[in-house]
Structure 1
């Protein structure tokens, strides 16, 4: 490997490192920013001037195909994260939307777009290919837009996800159909199509049933060692392995990655795995959107100054109208928002259109035109989604519309506001959890020791594997909305690190901690714990009370003296230390 081989990687990291903070500062949508970066630094942007100015070749992307192959990993990890967020029970509850709304969306959109394509002079086979291709939406774009503000948990998000899931399932039948249209083998097409659907159903069932019995025990076996690199290796193995298995069966790799995430959903590793994957996913998703921007050829835009914008707007309006009609039950505002959110073309178009051009089903010029239409529609997606959201808010506030309530939390989902977060699920943590449960107070616990996690999950689903000193992990447990945090860890150093981290990120959050002794209690108070209970002091005071009573002191007097002693020791623990570690 030479420096030239690393040029594309270094350029992407440089652009990401400079652009992301700037976009955050300017409050620019990151997806839109990466699309524009791909357009500017791609082969059709500054790269097109590399012949006249050779130095531009060093600061532009030239190997677009290589970038696209790596960028596809971003889609896989996005789908893996979506699978982690969804419980299998919730996925099953969406089956009517998947096979009802999803099928209708693809069928009606394909019919409408095909009719327009046929009216503009395309042969029937080409028109059908165009309709099926443009009926698909971008999973990466829609999920990225829904991920803000917990949009995936809303009825609108669930309905959009169901449609996207059906679109992923439809990839193989559509590819077979396009292949048949290209080869004029329509006579034997339907048996092959039905066989592919049966194989897809069997593959999904086998992956889930077998993987569910293998994935969790495999993670549990290595969790005892607490080695992050082992977790990273297992996550990559699970995600890429199942994606490769579904691809070998003729299904979408993105669907395989979604199944991989579902295998770990509702397990104790859900949030820990999510924190490990999140940085990789963010970078790779940025690379994916940048690769989409590289596909835009501004010369094609200049050749069709009217038809390109008209085609993009027409595609958005047709798909928005179909989706809004199918989701009318959500209300006018929500239905319109969903339609504009799903209006863009999808990454699937890059595969199908390339194949259709190779099979001479579409002319090369038409294929390039449609690729630019899809790319521009993805570029317009954030603006269309924002417009839909504003329309929904306006409709609901001025026309008396309604906002469908979010689905209630299921097993393994983030608790509602006002819950208690328990750091450590040993003897003391379990006691605290039992008392809270007896009084009907919601709680969620996090524990480093996998054996304790496994024991706790026999009784409750609200115990997760992880480290309480990681605020971003605690944020996934709803710590920003909780009533308090109770730290009960045995390890004094871990408790100190957890209090420090919580005070740094959540200064107003009540934190109650268990201390090993008086010195440890003073340290915990020094770094910001609101209240500290020393296990040695409490056990000693209780034993002292029994001893005083046995020596003849009245019960009331013994209790009074022990209370005075407790108050003095609490005051001592609150005194500042000269030096903290």
Structure 2
């Protein structure tokens, strides 16, 4: 009977996702809102086709930890260090300001100081799962506002630890400390030292033990074992943090960050991504199914007031904090709208606070319903931003913000106008080809405009700017920015929205070209390749080759190199340490080139 119930519930969840999510995306609502609506429909207060949603939500929360692991893989230690001021500056001030502000507001609403302070701390948290899923779908992760938002979410995850420590001190019921944690019997400063030591050991193990382990597993050529090892790393790091009484999500994030510079980063991403996406989807469905519509029906005005207070007041605080950190107005609005909702940990903390008598169970139920509704409304607020606010700001921003780009009907849209892009742009403009250029170097743009170039200050990773730049009607999109990783993200985002648009991309060198070719971007241009061939041509002539022979050798080399690039890209999947199959093929390719050169010389010498 249990097996039947499990398969029945699994079928309902999957059927709801399969039907609701594509429909929601087709209507422009995004996948998160589709999952939430699916949960509402199958939940106990509409169709009532699923039960025990709370236990399913706990299982699906593993999707959040997988997401943090993938984020860690994207954030190399150098990038994490670069964001330290935002994590411990912007994040800290956001949590403190929101906590204090909500404490004051709930005191004015006749709550006790203890209850108000607890609610303030809990309401300072936002939904990591919803926000990061939306930012990933929109391609905003690598944008400045994406980095600021990620920094705040990371600090919020860290803040859960002291919040869990403070709440029992506010409660009227003494809790027995969990005896199963490794630090349960240690004094305060011993706990801190032990925790730091374990985290340091986790980092060292990640750097010096995991790489040899993955290399050993990879040599077995069993994909499913590599996948199992990837999941084992995530689960083990989560268990270590839980054993210390810390956040499991923090442990998986650290594990991902440690492995961010390893040669197995891309393989790990590919293995974890499907599990993360499915579990997050189930998590969002569970949130929708847990919205208590009966409680909302009997207390509509009160819950509406709490939801409005949470979203509007929190957004105002977030906007003010963003402006303190000199984030421009448009990005401050996006930052505040995406983080205004309550988070998934609010459910846990509100129930925990009610259990230790900080406030009543009835109050906790009302607050939980308000948090769930705020999460449901977040995708709608993002749609409002994209459809109403973003176009307005793109038209009105000046100087320090993105330029006012009038709706363009360009033949070509180009991202980047540095030393590489300028040559292409000059060639196109000289031939009267209408080209709109976006670049993020404000000083360079000011100089280029003095020479008559039409270059706009704008981030090409933002689809709203690209659409206003005319990409919808363009025949060609050229990516000439210096950051190869960001260039690939932009290319993927553009292809997602405009699959028939031809894309030409600049990359640094051979290994970056492999990444593009693997994603079926075949028009890739290595920035030094042709100039190196030009110098090689001069070198051959200086060494006694006549001009015709030198040009023939260069042409033969170019044809062979481009063919081998396409072939070797299929084998190159471990940056920093190519496997033996790749090395063997590369040697074979070099030998074939030498034989072809020798055959050509013999042919033309006879």
Measured on the aligned residues, the alpha-carbon RMSD in Å equals 3.7
Partner of residue 297, structure 1: 292
Displacement of 1:235:
0.7
Q: Structure 1 residue 347 and structure 2 residue 344: aligned?
A: yes
> Is 1:75–1:140's contact at 8 Å kept on the other side of the alignment?
yes
| Contact 2:69–2:254 (Cα < 8 Å) also in 1 | yes
> In structure 2, what is the equivalent of residue 148 of structure 1?
137
Counterparts of 2:482 and 2:595 in 1: how far apart (Å)? 43
1:95 aligned partner:
84
Q: Does 1:357 align with 2:354?
A: yes
Change (3 A) 1:164 1:192: farther
Compute the displacement of 1:381 (Å): 0.6
Q: What is the distance in 1 between the residues matched to 2:257 and 2:89?
A: 22
Q: How has the CA–CA distance of structure 1 residues 371 and 195 changed in structure 2, closer, same or farther, with 3 Å as cutoff?
A: farther
CA shift in 2, pair 1:411/1:29, >3 Å = closer
Q: Which residue of 2 aligns with 1:31?
A: 32
Paired residues for 1:505-544 under 5 Å: 542-544=597-599
Query: How far apart in 2 are the matches of 1:228 and 1:95?
Result: 36
Aligned to 1:232: 227
DSSP 3-state at the match of 1:153: coil
Paired residue secondary structure (1:6) = helix
2:392 aligned with 1:394: yes
Find out whether 1:177 has 2:175 as its counterpart.
no
Match among 235, 243, 264 for residue 269 of structure 1: 264
Alpha-carbon distance in 2 for matches of 1:284, 1:4: 19
Runs (5+) with no aligned partner, structure 2: 176-185, 403-439, 441-457, 462-479, 492-505, 527-560, 572-584
Deviation at 1:300, TM superposition (A): 1.4
Q: Could you give the per-residue CA deviations for residues 243-301 of structure 1, whole angstroms, max 9, x where no partner exists?
A: 11111111111111211221221222222221222221111111010111122111111
TM-score, structure 2 length as denominator? Answer: 0.68
Summarize the Cα distance change of 1:195–1:32 in structure 2 as closer, same or farther, 3 Å threshold: farther
User: Aligned runs of 1:463-482 on 2, under 5 Å?
Assistant: 474=519, 479=521, 482=524
Deviation string 1:57-77 (CA, Å, 9 cap, x unpaired) is: xxx111112211221111111
Q: What are the superposed Cα offsets for residues 184-240 of structure 1, whole Å, 9 maximum, x if unpaired? A: 789xxxx98877666655444332233222222211221122211111111111001
For the residues of structure 2 that align with 1:245 and 1:267, how far apart are their CA atoms?
21
Query: Residue 160 of structure 1 aligns with which residue?
Result: 149
Q: What's the offset of the Cα at 1:383?
A: 1.5
> Cα offset for 1:31?
0.6
Task: Give the CA deviation at 1:418.
Answer: 12
Once the two structures are TM-superposed, the CA of residue 148 in structure 1 deviates from its matched residue by 2.5
1:416-435 → structure 2 map (5 Å cutoff): none
Q: Distance in 1 between matches of 2:86 and 2:39?
A: 35
CA separation of 1:213 and 1:540: change in aligned 2, threshold 3 A: closer
Q: How many residue pairs align between the two structures?
A: 458
* CA–CA separation in structure 2 for the residues paired with 1:369 and 1:399: 41
Partner of 2:240: 245
Distance 1:490 1:303, change over 3 A: closer
Bigger shift: residues 354-363 or 365-374:
354-363
Q: 1:116 to 1:413 in 2, by over 3 A?
A: same
Aligned to 1:488: 564
Residue 303 of structure 2 corresponds to which residue in structure 1? 308
Find 1:69's aligned residue among 54, 58, 62. Answer: 58
Q: Unaligned regions of 5+ residues in structure 1, if any?
A: 48-59, 420-439, 446-461, 496-513, 518-532, 550-554, 559-581
Structure 1 residues 492 and 257 mapped into 2: Cα distance closer, same or farther (>3 Å)? closer
Contact preservation (8 Å) 2:17, 2:34: no
